Structure 1
Amino acid sequence: MRKSANQRTHRGVGMSQRESERGAGKPTTQEAREAWGAEAYSILIGVAQTYHAVITYKDLAEEIQSRSGIRTKALLHNWIGPVLGRVVREAQHRGDPPLTALVVHTDDGKVGGGYKEVLAVAGEPPVEDELEREHHAAEARLACYRRFGAALPPGGGVPALAPRLQASVKRRRERAEEPPRVCGHCFVQLPSTGICDSCD
């Protein structure tokens, strides 16, 4: 079926030409979020096809805007949440695992506080402990890899924290496991200089 000139879609958003003329070719916030949500879903399925892959909020936002052709000057934290909320609800509706577990912060590798929406939509209680929340997200990521055909190791794979967070947790654990250094003469714990203040 051929569309008339007044019904051609604008950049895949589903707006007719007449609708787009009212805003000088710019989609409404609602239309943009719908388009971004659809692109985000598609992008995250692609991420889920690689075992232990994650994507940062920043990279996801850029890819969403690039693919949709709809750009915003708004700060990332002002628009990405509602878009990912759509992805959470759509995944639940389709019976897919929570794809938003694949999205992490650039600086620390955590899914962050927005993950509470995944739990709420799934009818699960909130997780207050940050590390416990991140382990929950790691389990959700493994479910995504399994669902969307990632090449898994024998045994079906294991949940994993995002690489940046895993490195941070490992460093903390190694520091905690190091026994304090003590003076071999007076058996007092040494200061960070490694020189005993009592024996000098």
Structure 2
Amino acid sequence: MVRQRGYWRESDGSPVTAPKSWEIWAGHAYELLTTVARRYHAIITYGEVGEKVQAASGVRTSALLHNWIGPVLGKVVHEAHRRGDPPLTALVVHAGDGMVGVGYEEVLKVEGLPSIVDEMEREQHAAAARLRCYRHFGAEIPPDGGTPALAPKLEATRERRRRNQEPSPRPLCPSCFLQLPATGWCDNCGA
């Protein structure tokens, strides 16, 4: 079996140009992301988007995901802006760290906002944009109006870091229950 290279139609193996593939995938990505947006606090990874748009379109590629997902999602950013929809690409995060990544800059540019250099600031902006997506596309929102949320993987990493940075409480004296100094001997009772 000969392995295809480049971009091709699954049905007959005919070649498709990269730009045409991106255009086709962008339409499928838009539809996919509106579906994701209908579930409160739902997200999807870049890899999942890549596989789902290829499967739905019947157009495949041997190119690495990071070489083509940016142009596809860039088209989604511009289409969402044209339609007056919130930035659907805020729903797409890296599998490894749960972050939207630097490609999110296109959302800021299209919205006429300045670039956000600080990663956590960018993630907070994306979390707020995701909440706008959930509201706009009809997700079942809690009665309090919902809250912006970081991707679960990113939130878990932040929580782990927070716990690791907190100093552990110093032990207490078993007799008088005062916190022991660094020496480990109670200044009050000598225990």
State the TM-score, normalized to the length of structure 2: 0.82
- The Cα of 1:183 is off from its aligned counterpart by 9.8
Give the alignment partner of residue 140 of structure 1, picking from 121, 129, 132: 129
Give the alignment partner of residue 43 of structure 1, picking from 20, 26, 32: 32
Residue 64 (str. 1) matches residue 53 (str. 2): yes
Note closer, same or farther for the CA distance 1:156–1:186 as it changes in structure 2 (3 Å cut). closer
Alignment of 1:18-167 (within 5 A): 25-167=14-156
- The Cα of 1:160 is off from its aligned counterpart by 0.2
Identity of aligned residues (%): 56
Residue 175 (str. 1) matches residue 164 (str. 2): yes
Any conservation in 2 of the 1:110–1:134 contact (CA below 8 Å)? yes
Alpha-carbon RMSD across the aligned residues, in angstroms, is 2.2
Structure 1 residues not aligned, in runs of 5+: 1-9, 12-19, 191-200
- The Cα of 1:176 is off from its aligned counterpart by 2.2
> What CA deviation, in whole Å up to 9, does each residue of 1:139-194 have, x standing for no partner?
0000000000001111211000001001111111222233464797983389xxxx
Give the alignment partner of residue 188 of structure 1, picking from 177, 182, 185: 182
- The Cα of 1:28 is off from its aligned counterpart by 1.6
Which stretch has the larger CA shift, 174-183 or 59-68? 174-183
Q: Which amino acid aligns with 1:129?
A: D
Give the SS at the match of 1:132. helix
- The Cα of 1:32 is off from its aligned counterpart by 0.8
Any conservation in 1 of the 2:124–2:150 contact (CA below 8 Å)? yes
Q: Which runs of 4+ in 1 moved over 4 A?
A: 180-186
> What CA deviation, in whole Å up to 9, does each residue of 1:117-141 have, x standing for no partner?
1101111001111111101000000
Structure 2 residues not aligned, in runs of 5+: 1-7, 174-178, 185-191
Q: Distance in 2 between matches of 1:132 and 1:179?
A: 29
**Aligned residues, how many?**
170
Alignment of 1:1-12 (within 5 A): none
Which stretch has the larger CA shift, 26-35 or 162-171? 26-35
Any conservation in 1 of the 2:170–2:180 contact (CA below 8 Å)? no
Q: Which amino acid aligns with 1:123?
A: G
Give the match for residue 198 of structure 1. none
Give the match for residue 189 of structure 2. none
